[in-house]
Amino acid sequence: MRALSTLAAACLLAGPAMADTFEEVKVTAGKTLFEGECRRCHAVEPTDPSYGPPLENVLYRAAGSVEGYDYSIALEASGIVWTPAALRAWMEDNDGFMPGTKMRHVGIEDRTVQDFILAYLTSISTKDNKALDQ
């Protein structure tokens, strides 16, 4: 108990620094999860070979918009933007969310795991993409 309240006080004092640390932990965990769940099909760098579309800058990107990638008609015609909510729905049940996609089902239902992967995807996206979120 005492240790806990000391920790709580330390967090309060540390404030933003502690929040940064938490964000870093999420990104690191997200990278590990991404390596395990997504990397075998998705490169991060657009120049690396990738079975699925590269996911660099995916946050707030229009779906199906990587030049030269052969998307399914379903994804290309979806007209959606990859907001955090859309990415969660996709991770949870991609072929339910978008019938006709050629991405094999990944059923990541655990919100914490989704959070971590989202933190990682955000870390590999530039802020400029935010402008697309209307």
- Residues in contact with ligand HEC, shown as a per-residue x/- string from 105 to 124 under the rule CB under 6 A: -x-x--------x-------
Q: Is 44 in the site for ligand HEC (CB under 6 A)?
A: no
- Residues in contact with ligand HEC, shown as a per-residue x/- string from 59 to 98 under the rule CB under 6 A: ----xx-x----xx-xx------x----x--xx-------
Rounded CA separation 100/95 (Å): 7
Q: 116-133 burial, b if ≥16 CB within 10 A, otherwise e? A: bbbbbbbebbeeebeeee
Q: Count of residues binding ligand HEC (CB under 6 A)?
A: 28
Report how far apart, in Å, the C-alpha atoms of 92 and of each of 9, 86, 89, 100, 114 are.
Answer: 36, 10, 5, 16, 8
Rounded CA separation 48/80 (Å): 25
What single-letter amino acid sits at 112?
T
Nearer to ligand HEC by C-beta: 11 or 52? 52
Nearer to ligand HEC by C-beta: 11 or 74? 74
Nearer to ligand HEC by C-beta: 21 or 107? 107
**Residue 88 in contact with residue 107, Cβ under 8 Å?**
no
Tell me which residues touch ligand HEC (CB under 6 A): 37-38, 40-42, 51-53, 55, 58, 63-64, 66, 71-72, 74-75, 82, 87, 90-91, 101-104, 106, 108, 117
